[in-house]
Chain A
């Protein structure tokens, strides 16, 4: 405006002065703005380093003033809870209420003290702004309305879960976790901002925002319905899921992530088994396709596939080598973490839909793969990782050196074995914790004291077991030693196992970052134990395939080669679950869905 004197007035030539504007565009900052107050609600600023693209700001905006814009080049990682999107603000709609700032889980969004912006008619788009830390005109303005404790709409603290005290829980295999009360569940559900990061990160893409919202609304039937959209193993996943959703939860950026797993558990426990079966049956077709599918293995992958396929009208028969269904979730997870009656409830939903399970029927012994090929239109193999690996260190062939998977199965089945008065467990994963804590309970019952030592290759910074498992095991009297590598089992002159020798671990990763421990030969320790349990790794027993089929199939470094849909190189055979994707319940469920869709599609052709 420097070319025009505002003091000029009154002259008859004034109209001519308007000619000065001819051919000149308007300006975006007509006046030097006055300084705004400290908490002024001006234009947005967004710290892109903090922002994770969760879109909570978009969802809270009642004026629909926020649009999430994909930004090429920004990182995107659903598992870590990061999207390559950033909020853009339409200042034609924004009312500067600041709700987007108050609810922003990361605290990346704030309002600045910048408030002046004008434009020419052909620049109306300039009111649609992608805020970054620099302000809309690239000039620095201090923050105005910003995240504060008083205005923060995010509840950072999780509802506590009631658990049995260690002294009480060590006396039995009763479930440790009590579960949420109605009030706790509603409060916990109210912490969810519905961003959907959990949905993106979940292998089976559970509709967690939807079921959490239903819990908050008190509509538990709807919560179960949303859960069953993607997961027929919901009692199980409500208790033992590896919960990647909680790692990705946006609330976890500044506080405790929403207890998504416990909320699922609450919803499932709150609705009767009968009603759950009714809800799960919704959408089942009312006709039979006449196509038959055999599933080998009644674990999460096999039964999820069976669940999907039977709902599509196919006749599904599951062949299970053991007495009961559940696979490694039953025979590998102790009852104090996963009560068998809840597992039974999940299985009952699936069988209630018409899935037949032939228990105690081992494929390869009681029925051959060739018979299955002839009798069925498709065969799914979902065996799980049911065999434990051995360290094969000296002395590991002693009869009191056992595999964790074998002992856990025996404990589940109630099979008797001599409870050792002292034991050493080799391994640092959840399976090692499971067997250590199970033995601790059995020792307490048999001898009144716990003498279990866990030795792990990893240091505590790289421990594989859940921190909760480690903490609870210690509370129960289990000694856990990190950075110890097994050297040999010690057997006395009478042939009795006396314990395990270990070496200190100098490093666990090689220069390429691979797991390759190196040992300090001068740091040897002896750990007394009349039983040594190996819990180091698991594998699949594929002997049931037979030599001919094994040769026919394509393999990928020890595992069956499958395409993206779980189809093997043999037209009638699919594979899914731990034997393909590695050990994880919710991955197995996701795999079951994927393979079922592929089988259904093939059978429809």
Chain B
């Protein structure tokens, strides 16, 4: 790439390095919604033996989706929606994972859990990065809260993973 080209890319990146909170929440909400839709569509495809797992994941994502939707209409948050947020360079984690990787026609419980864990991990890191890139205040607290929520969910999934995969099942 030429110097000019590289400089152009950098300036473009700078332009894109700020997003409105509304945009970020919209992407995040979409992330959770698509996950919910994905798990819901997966339910009839997997063996009834492990369907509980996908049902629980769908339910969890539904909860997240509702939480994000609620946030977007929360008066305290609405006032901040137009604020611009410095986004980290690695602002691609959500979009990578929104294009859900193919789990195949008949995934087993371990594959489903690994998939879910990778999603939670991406979301957790994304919110943590966003929190790190915002100064003290309501928006920072919001991202911290979201990061903690995703961390908690990831830990739940990890415990379930070890219970199922490393000990022969619950």
A interface with B by C-beta (< 8 Å): 385, 389-392, 457, 510, 512, 514-517, 536-539, 542, 547, 550-551, 553, 555, 557-559, 582-583
Contact = CB atoms under 8 A, between A and B. Distances in A.
Given A392-B114, A510-B159, A550-B48, A515 B166 contact: yes
A520 B115 CA distance: 22
B48 A537 contact: no
Nearest 8 A/B pairs, CB to CB: A514-B159, A516-B159, A537-B168, A516-B158, A515-B162, A537-B166, A536-B166, A557-B170
B165 A551 contact: no
A389 B114 CA distance: 14
B145 interface: no
Interface residues of B, number: 23
A52 B81 CA distance: 65
Contact of A583 (B49, B114, B168): B168
Interface in B52-67: 52-53
Contact of B162 (A516, A542, A551, A553): A516
B163 A539 contact: no
Contact of B155 (A510, A536, A542, A550): A510
A558 B169 contact: yes
Interface in B115-170: 155, 158-159, 162-170
A404 to B, nearest CB: 12
B110 interface: yes
A558 B109 contact: yes
A582 B162 contact: no
Interface hub of B51, B163, B169, B170 (most chain A Cβ within 10 A): B169
Contacts of A515: 159, 162-163, 166-167
A537 B48 CA distance: 21
Interface hub of B50, B111, B168 (most chain A Cβ within 10 A): B168
Contacts of B169: 537, 539, 557-559, 582
B47 interface: yes
Contacts of B111: 392
Main SS at interface, chain A: loop
Given A536-B166, A537-B168, A538-B168, A555 B48 contact: yes
Nearest to A549: B48
A385 B169 CA distance: 10
Contact of B110 (A392, A517, A557, A583): A392
A515 B109 CA distance: 18
Given A389-B166, A516-B155, 14 more contacts: A389-B110, A389-B165, A510-B158, A515-B159, A515-B166, A516-B159, A542-B47, A547-B47, A550-B49, A555-B48, A557-B170, A558-B109, A559-B170, A583-B168
Contacts of B167: 515, 537
Nearest to A582: B168
Contacts of B170: 557-559
Interface hub of B53, B110, B158, B167 (most chain A Cβ within 10 A): B167
A538 B164 CA distance: 9
Contacts of B53: 558
Nearest to A464: B167
Nearest to B47: A550
Nearest to B56: A557
Contacts of B159: 510, 512, 514-516
28 contacts: A389-B110, A389-B166, A391-B165, A392-B114, A510-B158, A514-B159, A514-B162, A515-B159, A515-B163, A515-B166, A516-B158, A516-B162, A517-B162, A536-B165, A537-B164, A537-B165, A537-B166, A542-B47, A550-B47, A550-B49, A553-B48, A555-B48, A555-B52, A557-B52, A558-B52, A558-B164, A558-B170, A582-B168
Interface string B54-95: 000000000000000000000000000000000000000000
Nearest to A457: B166
Contacts of A582: 168-169
A517 B158 CA distance: 8
Nearest to A545: B49
Contacts of A550: 47-49
Contacts of A512: 159
A557 B50 CA distance: 7
B166 A558 contact: no
A538 B53 CA distance: 18
Contacts of B51: 555
Contacts of B52: 555, 557-558
A278 B76 CA distance: 83
Interface in B28-57: 47-53
A510 B161 CA distance: 13
A566 B163 CA distance: 23
B158 A551 contact: no
A539 B167 CA distance: 9
Nearest to A513: B159
Nearest to B167: A537
A158 B152 CA distance: 49
A553 B48 CA distance: 8
Nearest to A518: B158
A586 B16 CA distance: 64
Contact of B168 (A385, A392, A551): A385
Nearest to B170: A557
Interface hub of B50, B114, B162, B170 (most chain A Cβ within 10 A): B162
Contacts of B110: 389-390, 392
A393 to B, nearest CB: 10
Contacts of B114: 392
B141 to A, nearest CB: 22
A390 B161 CA distance: 12
B49 A555 contact: yes
Nearest to A536: B166
